[in-house]
Amino acid sequence: MRRKQFDVTSEYAESLDAADKLAGYRERFVISDPELIYLDGNSLGRLPKATITQQSEAVRQQWGERLIRGWNDGWYDAPRRIGDRIGSLIGAAPGQVAVADSTSVNLFKAVLAGLRLRPGRKRIVTDSINFPTDLYVVQGAAELLGGEHEIVRVPSEHDEGTPDLDELVRAIDGDTAVVTLSHVTFKNGFLYDMEAITELAHGQGAIVVWDLSHSVGAVPMLLDEWGVDFAVGCTYKYLNSGPGAPAFIYVNRALHGSARSPIWGWFGRKNPFAFALDYEPAPGITRFLAGTPPMLSLLAVESGIAPTLEAGMSKIRGKSVAQTEYLIDLVDAVLASDGFTVATPRVPESRGSHVALRHSEGYRIARSLIEDMKVIPDFREPDIIRFGCAPLYTTFREIWEAVDRTRRVVTDHLYEKYSDERSEVT
């Protein structure tokens, strides 16, 4: 996407925007304050304008007028219909993805199903930079099965940095039942080689469960081709489906006969409206559903993912790589002398779509960016400020502005008026 050599001027940022083929997608989102620079689309995506109309229609017509008949007008199939669309973003043929529950709950279903597919094995491999809910879910699943599994957390080279891949290779052995990792790590945006690790785990006979929360909608992937067993992920981050929108679960077709959800709810039963008294798993991905879907937010997933489907993952990834690279170049040129370091891999093949900056005053600087500078990043312990690039609406000019405002926060000592005491949500 580069038209000319990198420089630190805002004109250069504007030339990148002028050459951006995805620039038109920004108009599809609600931008209520153009001065506000939102760099947290990796935590909560922006609101698509179409979702406002869609939600209003869903409430007025679908709920208000159709009432219970809605179930036969498209509600009942929605978890699979919308799942198939997410499937097309992650290289999954139809019939293997369902939208339901939260990422935490789906991970529980997948990990427990995976452990039960490898009953004799007593090792679960994950890493120390995984999202905490993922670690808790693994601990809970192991406890439920009798507490005999050893959970190996592969360490990272620096405390919050990149994983130690040699350790990972050593950790996955013939006693490993499940390997579960986040495709892109939440703190510093490290991107795992999903294909290679899946192959490695399969070489030892283990099941893989990938968490795609920080990669779906930002990084292309080929789950079927790479033979992934299970995957889960959020829809409210890069897929712009709204706070707490239902998550998704992928189960490879090869496992549809053998894998079972640990939650035996009626929506996962064969023919639920027969109201039979005993559970029998539904065929296919349906068995991983549990209960009645939250229809309004499920329908918001349908309108939320539409711009991503339209733009296509390869263009999105192209812009994401260009934006994160531009951001890293700017940090090196403008912020390094003020004590900032880049904690995200510099090679694009190992990087997702957010960039982590470390600074000893990271918390207070992030506060000042939000309160004084109209820049919304987020902060992750102990010293990381995350800048997320959401290719559908983030502009190069915004990235330039965010770096410039960050520089001012430090050189004008604006952050010093804030206390280091953390708020409840950071």
Please state the closest distance from residue 425 (CB atom) to ligand PLP, in A. Answer: 12
The answer, yes or no, to whether the previous bond of 382 is cis (omega within 30 of 0) is yes
Please state the closest distance from residue 245 (CB atom) to ligand PLP, in A. Answer: 9
Q: What is the DSSP letter of 219?
A: S
Residues near ligand PLP (CB under 6 A), total: 13
Under the binding rule (CB under 6 A), the answer on residue 160 touching ligand PLP is no
Under the binding rule (CB under 6 A), the answer on residue 234 touching ligand PLP is yes
Under the binding rule (CB under 6 A), the answer on residue 102 touching ligand PLP is yes
State in Å, rounded, how far the first CA of the chain is from the last one: 34
Please state the closest distance from residue 133 (CB atom) to ligand PLP, in A. Answer: 5
Please state the closest distance from residue 20 (CB atom) to ligand PLP, in A. Answer: 27
Binder of ligand PLP out of 55, 128, 133, 350 (CB under 6 A)? 133
Run of H or E including 330: helix 313-330
Please say which residue, 102 or 128, places its beta carbon nearer to ligand PLP: 102
Binder of ligand PLP out of 62, 213, 286, 395 (CB under 6 A)? 213
| 378-399 exposure pattern, b = at least 16 Cβ within 10 A, e = fewer | bbbeebbbbbbbbbbbbbbbbb
For residue 237, give both structure tokens.
């981050």
Please state the closest distance from residue 184 (CB atom) to ligand PLP, in A. Answer: 8
Under the binding rule (CB under 6 A), the answer on residue 131 touching ligand PLP is yes
Beta pairing class for 378-380 and 37-38: unpaired
Under the binding rule (CB under 6 A), the answer on residue 104 touching ligand PLP is yes
Under the binding rule (CB under 6 A), the answer on residue 386 touching ligand PLP is no
Residues annotated as catalytic (active site), given as ranges: 131, 211, 236-237, 386
| 260-277 exposure pattern, b = at least 16 Cβ within 10 A, e = fewer | bbbbebbbbbeeeeeeee
Identify which range of 210-218, 327-335, 360-368, 391-399 contacts ligand PLP by CB under 6 A: 210-218
Under the binding rule (CB under 6 A), the answer on residue 128 touching ligand PLP is no
Binder of ligand PLP out of 28, 46, 214, 256 (CB under 6 A)? 214
Under the binding rule (CB under 6 A), the answer on residue 182 touching ligand PLP is yes
Under the binding rule (CB under 6 A), the answer on residue 171 touching ligand PLP is no
| Burial of residue 119, with CB atoms counted within 10 A of its CB: 0-12 exposed, 13-18 middle, 19 or more buried | exposed
Q: Show the DSSP H helices in 41-148 as ranges.
A: 49-57, 78-90, 103-117, 132-144
Q: What is the DSSP string of 128-150?
A: TTS-HHHHHHHHHHHHHTTS-PE
Q: What is the DSSP letter of 238?
A: T
What φ, ψ does residue 342 adopt, rounded to 5°?
-90, 125
Q: What are the residues binding ligand PLP (CB under 6 A)?
A: 102-104, 131, 133-134, 182, 186, 211, 213-214, 234, 247
